[in-house]
Chain A
Amino acid sequence: MSTVSGKEAVSTEKATRAVPDHDPARGRDQAMTAGQAAGGRPIPPPRAVSAPRAWLRLLGSEVGLTFRRPRNLAMLGVLTVIPVLIGIALRMFAGTGGDGTGAPMIFERITGNGLFLTFAALSLLVQLMLPVCVAVVAGDSIAGEAGIGTLRYLLAAPAGRTRLLAVKYACVVVFCLAAVTAVALSALLVGLLLFPAGPITLLSGGTIPFLDGVLRIGVVVLYVTAGMAALGAVALALSTLTEVSVGAIASTVVIVIAAQVLRAVPQLSVLQPYLLTEWWSGFDGVLRDPVAIGDMGQGLLVFAAYAAVFCSIAWARFTGKDITA
């Protein structure tokens, strides 16, 4: 056994308050804030930050993170490219054998008026592509942070569990709007470039001016965003159940596919009004005159119900959860 002197023990009286070995020149008398100590640069005293500003700041950070993530940008890119491909394909095959054996009504009209490409692209992508993109972002929202461990630091900051969850969902809604808008804008541009533009002949037979048509596209964008936001709530709830974001994403996609399958089974028609997927493409009403709002209103109710139920589940789970990742 060797002779260990160690530092001479601090006198017991001081031991509760003092630290061994510190430079007396920096004693407690000259206590500095953590900020001022390093470089002597002064930091203005912290000012009280209002709660709404703090919310907005976290939301800004969240949205910034979402739209800087290469994966999310890639998904938005793909969503933008698909209407271009549809437009080009229709343009190439329009002259040849295009007498549409069972093609959807909207598709037939694209070659006559480019605006219809927007409706067609949205009703096509809303079946699977858009839901998958939303599932990725929303399914990753909590589980992804838990998986890389940043969740514990956000909560220790302290972000507040309810505040963080609310900001996460708000960001999911923003992403839904961005994704749907990306599809709509891309389709609108390609439609105008490749096909004739002008007053639109509606499904009900009447004709509306071109700008009126663009306005109706805006209504459809908001409607589809609401449908995607409802799915986002489902994915968010699943995201609070796991630390593996792929799990939350995959189960959301499975739920979407299962719902699409159920839709296709005639014997299960009683279920159909309760399925989220049943209402996603229910925006035909805007192409009638007057606008048939009945179906869309019912769709919005279903979306709101899904969002309320699944956000509540997410909240109940997330606020009571042990963060062990």
Chain B
Amino acid sequence: MSRTPTDAGLAADVPGSRVGGPGGGSRREVPGAELSIVTSGLTKRFGSGQVAVDALDLAVPSGSVFGFLGPNGSGKTTTIRMLLGLVAPTAGEWRLLGTPMPGGVGGVLSRVGALVEGPAFYPYLSGEANLRRYDAADPSADPRTVSTRIGLALERVGLAAAAGKRYRAYSLGMRQRLAIAATLLGPRELLILDEPTNGLDPQGTREVRGLVKEIAAEGTTVFVSSHLLAEVEQMCSHVAVMRTGRLVAQGPIADLRASETVRIRVETPDVEEAAAVLAGLGLPEIRLGDGDVSAALGAGLPERVCAALVTGGVAVRGLAVQRPTLEDVFVGLTGEGFDVDG
């Protein structure tokens, strides 16, 4: 049996994966859905014996904003280094934009913009000269358009005014922006961004999120790693979760959310009566609290529940529909809180 994952095999082999739950089945038949990144059994064992990435099967659909989530040390950067051909995998195969790697590195990477483990530039050169240097390294970049392309990239990340300043004098946020500008030097089909908001203030973080969405809207696939759940939740359509080198879950965010049940919570002094009404409506998993009752809402409509409570003479002080946060999902998946180093 071939280990190459196809669209149909989205995370099917991953133990504990919630993908393929409710609604997951329909995606398997989506015709012509291409994958920008596919890995199969990708593994990296460092000389020290440390297994940084363990049999990773990723499938990143073209056109998605794909969040690659995991605590520090979970193997995100190592995976990205392998994807770019910087580090040779101990085992496994991968394709970028449909091309088998690492054989296709020379042809494919020109169409891929990458930010790997933070910015790195020549301190004694200006921001603009630094971008020119990286552009010169790309054999397919057209030297006649380099100034225009650099100008546009700097404008996009808001660095146009600091273009002539030496990199040494850049603040951390400016450095991060310059690294993002370097990924936008050419028309890219895929952006690989390793923790792009590291070192940015809240305003800068918002700008990067906006930029990622804008780039994705142009049809570029964005693969973005992060250790911040909230960040992935706010900009991604898909997510994969890493934990100590292993993939714990992968799929569209909506599917992951759907895998955790929506609950309805009633604040009331009449706890017993409220519970009886909820049970009468056929809602499962009823939990009684101190001054509140909650139950799994399932396909039930909150307005029906509300009406039934009022008709049943329950004094309703508050009514809330609790949609699971991704954090709830991940706590369910991994058994612990998320922002914990692995």
Contacts and interface: CB of A to CB of B under 8 A. Distances in A.
Interface of A: 1, 3-6, 9-13, 15-23, 26-28, 31-35, 37-39, 41, 43-44, 46-49, 51, 53-55, 57-58, 60-61, 65, 68-70, 148-150, 152-160, 163-164, 320, 322-324
Contact of A19 (B85, B145, B148, B216): B216
A65 B137 CA distance: 13
- Report which residue of A12, A16, A324 has the largest number of chain B beta carbons within 10 angstroms of its beta carbon: A16
Nearest to B215: A34
Nearest to B116: A152
Interface string B232-261: 010001100000000000001111011000
Interface residues of B, number: 79
A54 B218 CA distance: 28
- Report which residue of B85, B105, B109, B219 has the largest number of chain A beta carbons within 10 angstroms of its beta carbon: B219
B142 A158 contact: no
Interface stretch (B184-192, B277-285, B307-315): B184-192
Nearest to A61: B136
B172 interface: no
B237 A324 contact: no
Contacts of A149: 117-118, 120
Contact of A17 (B33, B81, B215): B33
A-B pairs with the 9 shortest C-beta distances?
A149-B120, A9-B254, A157-B137, A61-B136, A158-B109, A54-B139, A159-B137, A15-B252, A33-B187
Interface in B208-227: 213-220
A150 B121 contact: yes
17 contacts: A1-B322, A3-B322, A3-B323, A9-B254, A10-B254, A16-B27, A17-B62, A19-B65, A31-B218, A34-B186, A38-B152, A38-B153, A46-B187, A149-B120, A154-B137, A157-B109, A324-B86
Given A28-B63, A32-B218, A61 B137 contact: yes
B87 A323 contact: yes
Contacts of B141: 46, 49
A158 B217 contact: no
- Report which residue of B136, B148, B187 has the largest number of chain A beta carbons within 10 angstroms of its beta carbon: B136
Interface string B80-92: 0100111110000
A31 B23 CA distance: 29
A39 B322 CA distance: 43
Contacts of A35: 148-149, 152, 186-187
A10 B237 contact: yes
Contacts of B332: none
A154 B87 CA distance: 14
Nearest to B65: A19
Contact of A158 (B110, B184, B322): B110
B265 to A, nearest CB: 8
A138 B324 CA distance: 58
Given A9-B254, A22-B214, A158-B109, 16 more contacts: A5-B323, A13-B30, A17-B62, A17-B63, A19-B213, A31-B218, A34-B186, A38-B153, A38-B156, A43-B145, A44-B142, A70-B124, A152-B120, A157-B134, A160-B105, A324-B87
B257 A26 contact: no
B106 A160 contact: yes
Given A33-B187, A35-B152, A35-B187, A23 B217 contact: yes
Contacts of A18: 63, 237
Interface string B151-170: 01101100000000000000
Given A21-B213, A22-B213, A15 B121 contact: no
Contacts of A23: 217
B152 A152 contact: no
A10 B64 CA distance: 12
Contacts of B86: 152, 155-156, 322-324
A18 B214 CA distance: 12
A12 B23 contact: yes
B328 to A, nearest CB: 8
Interface in B82-127: 84-88, 105-106, 109-110, 112, 114, 116-118, 120-125
B323 A19 contact: no
A9 B239 CA distance: 14
B320 interface: yes
A44 B186 CA distance: 12
Contact of A6 (B33, B135, B148, B233): B233
B254 A12 contact: yes
A65 B186 CA distance: 22
Contacts of A9: 253-254, 257-258
B84 A65 contact: no
A242 B36 CA distance: 34
Given A16-B61, A158-B109, A158-B110, A22 B217 contact: yes
B114 A156 contact: yes
Contacts of A38: 152-153, 155-156
A54 B140 CA distance: 7
Contact of B139 (A49, A65, A70, A324): A49
